[in-house]
């Protein structure tokens, strides 16, 4: 029977009937896929505890011989990395849930997304180990996601007069998350309802981590003010450009506070 195998990260698991699950994965080879796990509730040994949120596993799936449009069947799932440190920490769970909801909303089914797969698995690994501050990882994940998805904000020059950020005299600028650009004091529309005031230092740090990735993120030190500004900016910008609110973001804000 034709099928496929791939490393995969579990996105979500939905009960289907009395014994089955419909499971959505982000796979390394095929992008986002949904599969049917027949009798998964009864067959504990078959999946050996692999079907937990955020887990990384190697999955083997087959296609139905009789139903052309049926979901593939999950035949086996070999656990490779449980990321147990995430599931036992409410704040880490909040961050991981938010990242997964972003990707699950953005990704099309059966379309390879190697960069986003690597971004997620590297972010989950760093979150699990706790070597980089959770807040910094969250900023990095969001801005890298936006860059890969093709709607990265412009942190280099004023969106109107194009003066570079280093040549702007004011310490603060106005970032408009609807336009995805910042404006200097002379160019800012003070009546804008989608703009927030943010320091130049925060924008420069966000630009730096976007261009250097997780491997170098631990080198940069965000002040508490920059963390709050970055969170406010990106957690408004991402939902705005994706045209939806995220339930997991509400949960994250509650546990984070």
Q: pLDDT (tens digit, 9 = 90+) per residue, 124-171?
A: 999 999 988 999 999 999 999 999 999 889 999 999 999 999 999 999
The dihedral region occupied by 158, where left means phi > 0, alpha psi between -120 and 50, and beta the remainder, is beta
Q: Where is pLDDT greater, at 92 or 179?
A: 92
SS3 category, 227 = helix
pLDDT value of position 129: 93
Sketch out the chain's domains with CATH numbers.
3-82 (2.40.50.140), 87-256 (1.20.1440.120)
Per-residue model confidence (pLDDT) at position 30:
92
Tokens matching residue 232: 């406010």
- Cβ contacts of residue 170 below 8 Å, gap of 6+? 184, 185, 200
- pLDDT recorded at residue 192: 67
Q: Is the pLDDT of residue 211 over 90?
A: no
Task: Report the C-alpha gap between 245 and 216 in whole angstroms.
Answer: 31
- Inform me whether the pLDDT recorded for 92 exceeds 90: yes
pTM: 0.90
What is the rounded average pLDDT of the residues 179-186?
91
Q: What would the mean pLDDT of 161-188 be, rounded to a whole number?
A: 92
């Amino acid at each position: 029977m034709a099928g496929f195998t791939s490393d995969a990260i579990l996105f979500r698991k939905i009960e289907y009937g009395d014994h089955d699950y419909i499971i959505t994965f982000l796979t390394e080879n095929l992008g986002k896929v949904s599969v049917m796990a027949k009798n998964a509730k009864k067959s504990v040994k078959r999946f050996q505890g692999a079907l937990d949120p955020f887990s990384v596993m190697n999955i083997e799936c087959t296609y139905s011989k009789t139903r052309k449009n049926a979901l593939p069947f999950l035949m086996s799932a070999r656990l490779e990395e449980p990321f147990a440190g995430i599931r036992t920490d409410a704040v880490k769970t909040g961050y991981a849930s938010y990242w997964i909801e972003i990707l699950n909303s953005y990704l099309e089914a059966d379309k390879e997304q190697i960069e986003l797969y690597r971004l997620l698995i590297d972010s989950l690994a760093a979150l699990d180990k706790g070597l980089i501050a959770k807040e910094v990882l969250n900023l990095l994940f969001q801005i890298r996601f936006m860059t890969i998805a093709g709607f990265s904000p412009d942190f280099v020059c004023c969106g109107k007069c194009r003066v570079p950020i280093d040549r702007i005299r004011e310490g603060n600028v106005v970032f408009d998350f609807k336009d995805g650009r910042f404006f200097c004091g002379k160019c800012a529309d003070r009546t804008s309802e989608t703009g927030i005031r943010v320091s130049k230092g925060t924008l420069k740090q966000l630009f730096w981590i976007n261009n250097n990735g997780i491997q170098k993120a631990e080198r940069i030190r965000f002040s508490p003010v920059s963390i709050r500004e970055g969170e406010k900016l990106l957690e408004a910008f991402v939902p705005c450009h994706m045209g939806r609110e995220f339930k997991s973001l509400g949960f994250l804000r509650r546990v984070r506070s």
